[in-house]
């Protein structure tokens, strides 16, 4: 059967995530009739090449979605809150990369390898989880299914691209300044909208997003809440420490997971090797393990450093790495869009 061609809008088309979405739509030969690229007034008029044709980026507004079937949002939570309902009003399915709707009980929060069945439950909007959460749950799902999970303790080492294209520029600029003996003059990180900034070049910043009343950052609480929602299991105990490091692409995570049943390490390896979207990279004798530099530009989640906790028989340590702009954002969103497109072609 021939594929139904769809009209697709990308909101935030000039951003770090939006650029990857456009690249994936082309690479995957997504069945597109018309592609509409939207940004703020700042970038309206920019020309972007898609499949050899130039498309002019337009300013996004409530009436941008007429005739659109799928609208992919990555322009910040406020833009999604304002415009995603307009996309739905025009009959589009909105796939949202921001935090705006993730915890809304009527909005499915989807990692296709974990809960693709939720896609059909949408009422117009489908949320893409936080980048750090996506890669963790994609890797842990086969272990959850086989043994059950009682507790997760995660520490992240997150790339600057997770804070957008201006944060990438900031790391490049600061690195040059510091190497030349000049002041770093931080301007963006850790949080653009907060007054205090910290140097990211040659540093590690234990703050991603704003602090909450409980002493955790919003990024850390996203990992806690979203993991439970995606696994549909409030009983899983999760605690997170999220750290920004001077890497451009690819988040790394040290994950300690306590399983509910006794496990066999070789079976764990085999479960992960057979898990969709997961690649095991684990040969310590030859110094082989997942690296952000290797994961960059790839869609998979890479898992290694598999080892039993020496103090708890049911404890397991893993190192999980993935490209935050791809599986952590654009690829996960395009996977969801592909399911919707396939359903429309049935």
Ligand X SMILES: NC(=O)c1ccc[n+]([C@@H]2O[C@H](COP(=O)([O-])OP(=O)(O)OC[C@H]3O[C@@H](n4cnc5c(N)ncnc54)[C@H](OP(=O)(O)O)[C@@H]3O)[C@@H](O)[C@H]2O)c1
Show which residues are catalytic.
Answer: 131, 251
Q: In angstroms, give the least distance from the CB of 169 to ligand X.
A: 10
Pairing type for strands 47-50 and 53-56 reads: antiparallel
Q: In angstroms, give the least distance from the CB of 97 to ligand X.
A: 4
Pairing type for strands 47-50 and 125-127 reads: unpaired
Q: For residue 69, count other CB atoms closer than 10 A to its CB.
A: 22
Cα→Cα distances 169→130, 165, 206, Å: 22, 6, 20
Q: Which residue is nearest to ligand X (CB)?
A: 15
- Residues 80 and 101: their CA atoms lie apart, in Å, by 8
Q: Which residues of 76-87 are buried (b: 16+ CB within 10 A; e: fewer)?
A: beebbeebbebb
Is 13 an interacting residue with respect to ligand X (CB under 6 A)? Answer: yes
Is 12 an interacting residue with respect to ligand X (CB under 6 A)? Answer: yes
Asked if omega into 42 is within 30° of 0 (cis), the reply is no
Is 164 an interacting residue with respect to ligand X (CB under 6 A)? Answer: yes
Q: Mind giving me the DSSP string for 284-335? A: GGGTB---HHHHTT--SEEEEEEEE-SS-TTEEEEEEEE-TTIIIIIHHHHH
Site pattern 59..98 for ligand X (x: CB under 6 A) = -x-------------xxxx-x-----------------xx
Q: In angstroms, give the least distance from the CB of 166 to ligand X.
A: 6
In the set 4, 7, 155, 165, which binds ligand X (CB under 6 A)? 165
Is 199 an interacting residue with respect to ligand X (CB under 6 A)? Answer: no
Is 250 an interacting residue with respect to ligand X (CB under 6 A)? Answer: no
Name beta bridge partners: 320.
253, 303
Number of shown-chain residues binding ligand X (CB under 6 A): 30
Q: In angstroms, give the least distance from the CB of 305 to ligand X.
A: 23
Q: In angstroms, give the least distance from the CB of 144 to ligand X.
A: 22
Q: Which two tokens stand for residue 320?
A: 């999980």
Is 335 an interacting residue with respect to ligand X (CB under 6 A)? Answer: no
Which run of H or E residues covers position 190? none
Is 325 an interacting residue with respect to ligand X (CB under 6 A)? Answer: yes
Is 190 an interacting residue with respect to ligand X (CB under 6 A)? Answer: no
Name the residues that contact ligand X, by CB under 6 A. 11-18, 39-40, 42-43, 60, 74-77, 79, 97-98, 131, 161-162, 164-166, 324-325, 328-329
């Amino acid at each position: 059967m021939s594929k139904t061609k769809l009209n697709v809008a990308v909101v935030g088309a000039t951003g770090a995530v939006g650029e990857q979405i456009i690249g994936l739509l082309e690479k995957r030969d997504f069945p597109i009739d018309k592609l509409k690229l939207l940004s703020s007034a700042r970038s309206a008029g920019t020309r972007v090449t898609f499949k050899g044709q130039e498309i002019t980026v337009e300013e996004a507004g409530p009436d941008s979605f007429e005739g659109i079937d799928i609208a992919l949002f990555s322009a910040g939570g406020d833009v999604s809150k304002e415009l995603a309902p307009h996309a739905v009003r025009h009959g589009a399915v909105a796939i949202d990369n921001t935090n705006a709707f993730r915890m809304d009980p009527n909005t499915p929060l989807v990692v296709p390898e974990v809960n693709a069945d939720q896609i059909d439950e949408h009422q117009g909007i489908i949320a893409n989880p936080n980048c750090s959460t996506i890669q963790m749950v994609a890797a842990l799902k086969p272990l959850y299914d086989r043994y059950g999970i009682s507790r997760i303790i995660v520490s992240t080492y997150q790339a600057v691209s997770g804070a957008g294209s201006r944060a990438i520029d900031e790391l490049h600029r600061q690195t040059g300044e510091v190497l030349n003996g000049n002041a770093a003059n931080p301007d963006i990180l850790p949080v653009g909208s907060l007054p205090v900034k910290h140097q990211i070049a040659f540093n590690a910043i234990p703050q991603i997003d704003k602090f909450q009343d409980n002493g955790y950052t919003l990024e850390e609480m996203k990992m806690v809440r979203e993991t439970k929602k995606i696994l549909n299991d409030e009983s899983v105990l999760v605690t997170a420490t999220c750290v920004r490091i001077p890497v451009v692409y690819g988040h790394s995570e040290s994950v300690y997971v306590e399983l509910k049943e006794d496990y066999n390490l070789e079976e764990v390896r085999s479960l992960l090797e057979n898990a969709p979207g997961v690649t095991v990279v684990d040969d310590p004798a030859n110094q082989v393990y997942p690296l952000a530099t290797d994961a960059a530009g790839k869609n998979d989640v890479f898992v290694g450093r598999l080892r039993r906790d020496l103090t708890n028989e049911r404890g397991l340590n893993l190192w999980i790495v993935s490209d935050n702009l791809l599986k952590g954002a654009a690829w996960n969103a395009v996977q969801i869009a592909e399911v919707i497109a396939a359903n429309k072609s049935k």
